[in-house]
Amino acid sequence: MADQQDTQSFDLSKSTSHLLHRAQQAAVNLSTEALSSQGLTLRQFAVLAALAAEEGQSQSSLVDRTGIDRSTLAEMVRRMEASGYIERTTSPEDARAKAVSLLTKGREVYEAALPGVEAADKALLAMIRSNRRAGFILSLAAIGAPEEEPEIEEVVAEDAADADADTSKKEKPKKSKKDKAAKADKSKSDKKKKKKKKK
């Protein structure tokens, strides 16, 4: 009989890499659905968003801003240029480099896609308690983009605005039939008392 070896168990529910992968799947699913109507991928949207924030970036700068590897980005830029979203021109700072900028079509498709992506982001954050959202974004930035400092004040302000909106939308509790009957009886009683005083 073969010796039975103890197999060390691994708790997926506490695995950082596993949970991040699951979270990424949820994020990609929501964002892909939001972008499908514009025919964009999440990576293409990231390039458009980076260029909308700063025109005339080099491809090296886009690699740093988007986190897309150099070879993949080069092919993406080529295809997006062929689609009329962006253009490459000689950089005024370095004749050997190309500056990438948005064309009108690219800006239009970016602006059309933006509300859907923002809604997807809000849907993801809604899964997290409001007092944990700022820390969650800081943690993601520390792992995925440590060189960038997220403007966390804006996230906190948006969370507060959303919380206020949710509170204002809450309906007042409906009164039960028993409460309504008690109020009606009290009203009748008050009227009788007023009549007695007049007499």
Look at residue 146 in the predicted model and tell me its pLDDT: 76
pLDDT of residue 97: 82
Q: What is the pLDDT of residue 111?
A: 97
Separation CA 55–CA 48 (nearest Å): 10
Please report the pLDDT score of residue 1 as a whole number. 47
The four Cα atoms 109, 88, 101, 98 give a dihedral, to 10 degrees, of 150
The pLDDT, as a whole number, for residue 95 is 75
Q: Which CATH architecture has domain 16-117?
A: Orthogonal Bundle (1.10)
SS3 sequence of 33-78: HHHHHHCCCHHHHHHHHHHHHCCCEEHHHHHHHHCCCHHHHHHHHH
Query: At a CB cut-off of 8 Å and minimum separation 6, what does 82 contact?
Result: none
Task: Give ranges for CATH 1.10.10.10 in the chain.
Answer: 16-117
| pLDDT at res. 162 | 60
User: What confidence score (pLDDT) does residue 153 get?
Assistant: 62
DSSP letter (8 states) at residue 22? H
According to the model, what pLDDT value does residue 198 have? 53
Q: Which stretches within 59-174 are classed as H helix?
A: 59-66, 70-82, 104-125, 133-144, 152-169
Question: Which residues in the chain come in under a pLDDT of 50?
Answer: 1, 167, 170
Phi and psi of 80, rounded to 5°?
Answer: -70, -30
DSSP 96: T
CB 38 within 8 A of CB 31: no
Find the helix or strand (DSSP H, E) in which 99 lies. strand 98-102
